[in-house]
Each structure stands twice: as structure tokens, then as C-alpha cells.
Chains A and B, each alone.
Chain A
Amino acid sequence: MQRDGAREDAVRASRLPLWMECIPPGVWVILVLAAASLVVAPMLESGKRADGKVMWTFALMHRTMYAPILNEWNRTHDEDMHVELRLLGIPALERRMMSGFLSEIPTADLIEAERSIAPRAFAGPLESVGFLDLTDRIRAEGLDEAINPPSFIPWMSRGRIFGLPHDVHPMMLAYRSDIVEAAGIDVDAIETWDDFAREFARVQTDANNDGTPDRFALNFWPTQVEALEALLLQAGGGFFDAEGRSIVACPENVMVLARMGEWMAGPTRIAADAQEFTAMGNQMKLDGQVCASVMPDWLADIWKTFIPQLEGKMKLMPLPAWEPGGRRTSAWGGSMLGIAKSAPDHDALWEFAKTLYLSDEVARALWREGDIISPIRSHWSDPMYDEPDPYFSMQPKGRMLIDLADQIPPRASSPFGRFAQLRVQDALYKLLNYRNSRPDATRAEMEAKAAELLANADAQVRRQMSRNRFVGGGS
């Protein structure tokens, strides 16, 4: 008994304090690490919000261009109005923007959004759009007149404007002048795409006699969905009308798709796939496997950077029209500057947005650094746009683009834009299958098939839209 008591005392004496015994050493290690993380993590956080304003952009070139204006703005304004510019990849910007808008938590004060992502913010009720409605400010200050009107349309939803346009992005046709001139083609005689297909067919060669040309007239394929949309817009078609209704099956789209089918399959094939932003596509252009490509202003800078060997071997011409006397350009891409509705000081942010986007300095930098035409009409008389461009065989590229800017087609935005784009792409793929199975199909047959496929695509788009009770009307 005594021995038991002694053992009990000994055990009690050797026991750790209760609070230590309850929590085993392993848990202590975890708790210490967790506490350390809580202390250290905030110190490591690099994305700490600045005292002033934050602006997100997606393009390195934009950040470089804006730096002098930003520095000047920060020098002449109080610290709470200083603007810090942050560069984000497009997917990151899209996710952060939409996460902020959907969860109603603050994002950056100013967001520069690209055309493929901005319409996502328009999918809800008008009052839920995360961007500030700029319509009244723009109209009151006459900016709707000063800026090329079609440049506003991509940033509009239900008649309201949510962004200040950054660009115009008119398109031309860039072609290998060395090859085309050697083939004796007079590009001035080309007015329509049918003229182009007929004349440029002469540059196609089949050196190894395997039945497939090793040089094609045109760089175009269903994979290039933005270019596909641009050509539909050029014809007066597109995906949505100004009220946001689907026009996927409109007669203009049917006509364009049928001709594209003829370009890409069967005995009339003139097109191949030399995609932009890929090493393989650039090599195909360099090797002359494709002779002509549709080219918005910004793409000229990409070619100069990644295919400098083509300097002096390229020329530009207006896009061939779809019908005689038709539109000779279209538009591809674009970005805007929006103000987050959740941001404080809307008036001050609006002043900053105008300072940044309407400045002469940015207009010049846009052209010098990125071959991009300013959307502000008063800038268009600047002699810099008349300078010859060595890359394009000393043609005055800027003036040629500006001469076309008035013809830019309206490009209505929709949160269903990506969905419609994919459905029309599917229709084109199916049309190519049809053409491959019926190489002798007439144009009327191609148009009938295109109409059937686009009607199906249109039904899918309308079905998708009808599910949205906020925008599409829903049941």
C-alpha cells in the first residue's frame, strides 16, 4: 500500500504540467509554426495595397508607355491620389477582376481590360456591373465626339458605356510583296475577296508535286477565331446586334462562312494555318508558306518584333471587300480603362483616366512603341502617322490605317461572346468536313450548308442566352 503510494507520488512528480500534457509535442510544433507564419506572412506580402490608388494593366508595353505620365501625376498630386500601376497576366487580371465584382469586394481602383475579358462584367443586371457607368461623364465632356465612335461600342452594355477606349485597331491585309510582285499580281486591281482568291491563287506552288500546295495565298484557319469574327464584322455580320441579340445566323455570316469554306478545303483551297504568337506560325510566314495575313495595327508591332527578317518584304493593302464597294477594313482586339465602382474618389479617378488616355504623349507612345492608332480623332493629323515604315516597304502605314478608321464596323460586346465565337468556329469546322466530302459543291450548296450550320449555332447561342435571367431575358 505504502509502496503504491510512493509510486503514485513518483509518477505525479514526473508528470508534466497539465497544460503541457494535454497538448503533445507534435501539436506544439504545429502551433509554433502556425504562429510564426501568422507573424511572418504579412511581412512578406508584396502585394500590399498602396496608400493611393492602384491600377491594373495586362500589357508590359502599356506600363512602359504610362510611366512618364504616371510619374508626373504622382509628382503633382497628394499622396492619397498617387497611382501605382501593376502588371498582371490577362487570365490573372480576369479572375481577380471577376472575383472582386462577383463577391463585391474592392479590386484595383482602375482596371485596363482587354476586349475578351471586359464583357464578362456585363453578364449580370446593369446595377451589378463592377465598372462605373461613364456614359454621362463622356457625353457631358464631348468625348463621344472626340473619340472615334465605334471605339466605344465594345465597352457598352444595354446602351451604357463602362470604359474609356484605348484604341481603334483597324485592319489591313499584309502580304509578301517580294512573292506577290514576282508573280505579277497587281494588288490595286483587287477589290473583293473573290478577286483576291482568284489573283492570289497564282502564288500557290507545289514544288514537291504531292498534290498539296507548299505555298498558300492566305493565312487563315478556323483556329484563328478572332480573325474569323473580324471578317464576319467586315461583311456586316458578327455575333450580336446593338441590343445584344444573337445574329449568328444572319445572311452576311452565311455568305462569309461559305466562302471561307471554299478557301480552306477542296480544289479552291487558298488558305493555311500559320497562327499568330507561335514559333511555327512565324516560321511559316518567314518561309513564305503563306503570302497574306489579316493584320490589325497592333499585330504589325508583333511581326516586327518576332519576324524582323521580313523587313522590306512586306506591304499592306486595305482588306478586300466582301462585295464591290463594300467595307475595306474591320477591327480585331482592343482595350479600355474602367473605374471600379467600389473605388472611392470617382471624380479624381476620372480625371486621372482622362489624363492618361487623352494625352498626346500616350498617343505618340502608342504609335511609336506599338504601331497602335490613337482613338482620339484630333491626334490623327499628327505628321508621325505619315512617316514611311521600312518594315512595310516604306509605305505610310499610319495614314493608310487612319484612312480606314472611319469604316470600322460596330462591334457589340456580350458576355456570351466567347460562347458564340466557339459555336461559329464549330460551324466552320463542320463546313470544312462537308467541303472535303463534297469538293465539287457549288457556292449555292456551300451557302445552304453554312446557313444550316449557323442556324444550329444560333439556336445554341440563343438557348444559352435564354438561361440568363439578367441579360438574355430568360424564362
Chain B
Amino acid sequence: MTRAATALAGASMPRSRLAPWLLLAPAIGVLAIFTGYPLVQSVPLSMKQTFGPGATTWVGLENFAAALGDPIFHKAVINTVLFMIGSVCTQIPAALGLALLLNHPSIRGRAVLRLLFFSPQLVGLVFVAVLTRIAFEKSTGIVNTGLHAVLPMWSLEFPWLEKHVLATLVLASFWMWTGFHMVFFLAALQNVPKELHEAASIDGAGPVRRFWVVTMPAILPIASFVTMLSVLGSLQLFELPYVVFAGGGPENRGLTIVTYLYQTGFESGDLGYSSAIGWLLAIMLLFCSIIMLLAGRARHA
């Protein structure tokens, strides 16, 4: 490189350094205004009782203490964790099973089936929630009438939306998200080298053995990612119970942490308490993420 070229490169360096920041500036600006500032503001807000800027009282950690001793918050946490367990334990294996099935070359109409399983994503969560509400109604809902037609002893009055609220939410969520997770697994399965399967076959491994020693290790990073998505998404569940039950449902059986946060903040107007609940949820999410990251690292090691 000549001196001139070096000089030119040096001269253009500050300009090229400026360009990425200029490109990022709009996004950073929007994030700073609509995410960063509210996030920072929510810390002091969680330590206040407030009704507009003219009526604010500092309460310290009282909101956090109240939340930790609040039986409704406890119920919301238990519901959310149970929903998360139910969702992850049904959706992930089902999504993987569907992906394995639809990845098999002998299955006809794979493209149509993929679209079919993915289709709840196309209509959106609110639409799925509205359909859930209709489908699980007593007497007239398609779930009870269908089950009654197949199993005459099944009561048309089976109270899905009154007593089996979490089960209903898990089923609705299964319908919504299994196809979505399946797409990730399909992409991962299509990247597993065929040579590895051939080599394992030559070594005498059967399909089950090949799945565990070839397929699973290859798709494990994607499986971890999908599981983390599912866990974090489940912990933030809001729209589904909000649309199906307009809140927490009978006896708060469908109350989730975010639904309770919404109720306290936007229905009761207790923004300080709501912020405290938000931070407690953030701590839970952080905790889950760290556990999963550590588990991933340990597995990798």
C-alpha cells in the first residue's frame, strides 16, 4: 500500500465510522424514546403511588412488598408457571414430531400440510382467541358438541371456560404456536448432513438410534432456542386470556402475570403497583434466561 492510499484510507476512516451511527440513529432514537426512557422511568414509578403528575406519593418498596404478599399476584404467578409448563411440554415435542413427519420425503402434500399447521399464525392471536371462546362454549361450542358426538357420555355442559381454564388456554396456545415452532425444527432438520445418517445406517443404527445420535445433537441449538422462545412467550401471556375471558376468568383461573399487570395499571389506575409487578416479571424472565443459557453452556461443554 502506498503512502497516498494509506493517507486516503486514514482520511476516510472517520467518515466510515460515522455512517453506521447515522444508519442506526433513527432506530436508536425510537428505542431510546419509546423503550429506554419508559424503562428507566418505570423504576421510580414502581416506588410511587400516583394519579397523574399532580398526585404522586413516594412509597419506597411498598409496592414490591404488597405484590409479594398479594394472593391474587400469587395466583397469577402460579397460573403463568403452570401455563408455561403445559405449553412447553406439549408444543415442543409436538412441533418436533410434526417437523420429523413433514421432513420425510415419502409424505405427500408436505407443502400443503406445512401451510396448514402454520396457518393459525397467519390469522393472528386475537382471531385464535375469539375462535377459542366460541369453540369451547358450553352446549353450543364445537369442542363439546364434537366430543359428545364421538363419546355420548361426554357432557355438553362440560365447563371448559369456567373450571378448566388453564387447560383451555394451553390447548388454544398449542393450536396457535405448534406450527410456528415446527417451522424452526423443519429448517434445522433440513440442515442435518445426509452423510451422517448414511454413515450411521452403515454402522447399523436404526431410525430411533439415528434420531438420538445424529439428528438430536444437530438440531439441539435450534431446539434450545425454540424452547427459550416458548418459555419466555408463555411467561408473557396476555392476549389470549384477555380476549377469551376479558381478564382473569372465573375465580382468576386464567389470570396471568401480565393480565394482572394490565388490570392493576390500566383498569385500577395503580401504575406504581403495575410497574412493580412488571419488574418482578422482568426478574423472573431474567432468571429463566440465565438458567437456560447456563444449561446450554453446560451441555455444550
- Whether chain B is bound by chain A comes out as yes
Interface residues of A (CB under 8 A from B): 4-5, 7-8, 11, 18, 21-24, 26-27, 30, 34, 95, 98, 101-104, 120, 123-125, 127-128, 212, 222, 273, 280, 283, 415-416, 418-419, 422, 425-426, 429-430, 460, 463-464, 467-470, 474-475
Whether the Cβ atoms of B54 and A120 lie closer than 8 Å is no
B157 with A422: CB separation less than 8 A = no
What 0/1 pattern do residues 235 to 266 of B give for CB contact below 8 A with A?
A: 00000000000011011100000000000001
B122 at the interface (CB under 8 A from A): no
- B4 surroundings in chain A (CB, below 8 A): 4-5, 7-8, 11
C-alpha spacing A273/B140, complex, angstroms: 12
- Assess whether B138 is in contact with A11, with CB atoms less than 8 Å apart: no
Known: A4-B2, A98-B269, A104-B54. A429 touches B8 (CB 8 A): no
Are B55 and A419 in touch, CB under 8 angstroms? no
Chain B's closest residue to A21 (CB) is B15
Q: Is the CB of A120 within 8 A of B273?
A: no
Contact A422 B247 (CB under 8 A): yes
Decide yes or no whether B267 CB sits under 8 A from chain A. Answer: yes
Q: Which residues of A contact B267 (CB under 8 A)?
A: 120, 418-419
Q: Which of these, B3, B23, B138, B248, contacts A26 with CB under 8 Å?
A: B23
Whether B71 lies near A460 (C-beta < 8 A) is yes
Asked whether any CB of chain A lies closer than 8 Å to the CB of B268, the reply is yes
List, in ascending order, chain A residues with CB within 8 A of B137's CB: 280
Q: CB-defined interface of B1-44 with A at 8 Å, one 1/0 digit per residue?
A: 01110001000100100110011001000000000000000000
Given contacts A127-B54, A128-B51, contact A426 B269 (CB under 8 A): no
Q: Output the residue of B22, B59, B162, B269 with the most chain A CB within 10 A.
A: B269
Q: Is B66 an interface residue (CB 8 A)?
A: yes
Chain B residues with CB under 8 Å of A416's CB are: 268
B168 within 8 A of A: no
| CB pair A430 B51 closer than 8 Å | no
In the bound assembly, the distance between CA atoms of A49 and B111 in angstroms comes to: 52
Query: B72 interface residue, CB < 8 Å from A?
Result: yes
Using Cβ atoms and an 8 Å threshold, which residues of chain A touch B55? 124-125, 128, 470
- Residue from B12, B62, B270 having most chain A Cβ neighbours under 10 A: B270
Chain A residues whose CB sits within 8 angstroms of the CB of B51 once the complex forms: 102, 123-125, 128, 470
Report the minimum CB–CB distance from A152 to chain B (whole Å). Answer: 23
B51 to chain A, nearest CB (A): 3
User: Which residue of chain B lies nearest to A11 when distances are taken between CB atoms in the complex?
Assistant: B8
Contact indicator B268/A464 (Cβ below 8 Å): yes
Q: How far is the CA of A34 from the CA of B248 in the complex (A)?
A: 42
B109 lies within 8 A of chain A by Cβ:
no
Q: How far is the CA of A7 from the CA of B70 in the complex (A)?
A: 76
Across the interface, name the chain A residue whose C-beta is closest to B253: A429
Q: Contact between A102 and B52 (Cβ–Cβ < 8 Å)?
A: yes
Instruction: State the CA gap A469–B269 with chains docked (Å).
Output: 13
How far apart are A327's CB and chain B's nearest CB, in angstroms?
29
Chain A residue nearest in CB terms to B271: A102
- Complex formed: what's the CA distance from A418 to B162 in Å? 19
In the complex, how many angstroms separate the beta carbon of A100 from the nearest chain B beta carbon?
A: 10
B124 within 8 A of A: no
Quick check: B269 and A120 within 8 Å, CB to CB?
Answer: yes
Give the docked Cα–Cα distance between A426 and B247 (Å).
12
12 further interface pairs, Cβ-Cβ under 8 Å (given A426-B250, A469-B57, A470-B51)? A21-B15, A27-B23, A102-B269, A104-B52, A104-B53, A124-B55, A125-B55, A127-B54, A422-B247, A463-B70, A464-B268, A467-B49
Q: Judging by beta carbons under 8 Å apart, are A128 and B52 in contact?
A: yes
In the bound complex, CA of A469 to CA of B66 (Å): 14
Contact yes or no, B52 A101, CB < 8 A: yes
Taking a contact as CB atoms under 8 Å apart, the answer to whether B269 and A222 are in contact is: no
Q: In the assembled complex, which residues on chain A have CB atoms less than 8 Å from the CB atom of B59?
A: 469
Chain A positions within 8 Å of B250 at CB level: 222, 425-426, 429
Residues of B within 8 Å of A212, CB to CB, are: 157
| CB atoms of B15 and A103 under 8 A apart | no
Question: 4 shortest A-B CB distances, which residue pairs?
Answer: A124-B51, A102-B52, A8-B4, A124-B55
Minimum CB–CB distance from B86 to chain A (whole Å) comes to: 22
Q: Answer whether A467 and B273 are a contact pair too, CB < 8 Å, given A22-B15, A422-B248, A429-B162.
A: yes
Residues of A with C-beta under 8 A to B252: 422, 426
Q: A residues within 8 A CB of B269? A: 98, 102, 120, 123-124, 415
**Known contacts A102-B52, A422-B248; is A8 also within 8 Å of B8 by CB?**
yes
Kindly supply a per-residue 1/0 record for chain B positions 148-183, scoring 1 wherever the CB is within 8 Å of any chain A CB and 0 otherwise: 000000000100001000000000000000000000
Per-position 1/0 for B123-141, Cβ under 8 A of A: 0000000000000011010
Interface residues of B in 47-86 (CB under 8 A from A): 49, 51-55, 57, 59, 62, 66, 70-72
Q: A34-B26, A123-B269 are contacts. A280–B2 as well, Cβ < 8 Å? A: no
Pairs A–B under 8 Å by Cβ, sample size 6? A30-B26, A98-B269, A104-B54, A429-B251, A468-B49, A475-B62
How far is A474 from B8 in the complex, measured between Cα atoms in Å?
Answer: 69
Contact B26 A22 (CB under 8 A): no
Query: Complex: how many Å from CA A419 to CA B248?
Result: 11
* Complex CA–CA separation, A256 to B48 (angstroms): 39
Distance to closest chain A CB from B107 (angstroms)? 39
Residue of chain A at shortest CB distance from B252: A426
Check A123–B268 contact: CB distance below 8 A.
Answer: yes
Closest chain A residue to B272, Cβ basis? A467
Residues of A within 8 A of B23 (CB): 24, 26-27, 30
Most B CB contacts (10 A, CB to CB) among A18, A125, A426, A467 go to A467
Please give, as numbers and ranges, the residues of chain B lying within 8 Å of A18 by CB-CB distance: 15
Min distance, Cβ A389 to any Cβ of chain B, angstroms: 30
**When chains A and B are docked, how far (Å) is the Cα of A416 from the Cα of B273?**
15
Distance (whole angstroms) from the CB of B137 to the closest CB of chain A: 6
A23 and B22 alpha carbons, distance in the complex (Å):
7
A27 touching B162 in the complex, CB below 8 Å, given contacts A128-B54, A468-B270 = no
A18 CA / B11 CA spacing, docked (Å): 11
Q: Is the CB of B52 within 8 A of A469?
A: no
Q: Provide the residues of chain B in CB contact with A128, threshold 8 Å.
A: 51-52, 54-55
Shortest distance from the beta carbon of B55 to any chain A beta carbon, whole Å: 5
A463 to B270, CA, bound (A): 13
Residue among A24, A418, A426 making CB contact with B19, cutoff 8 Å: A24
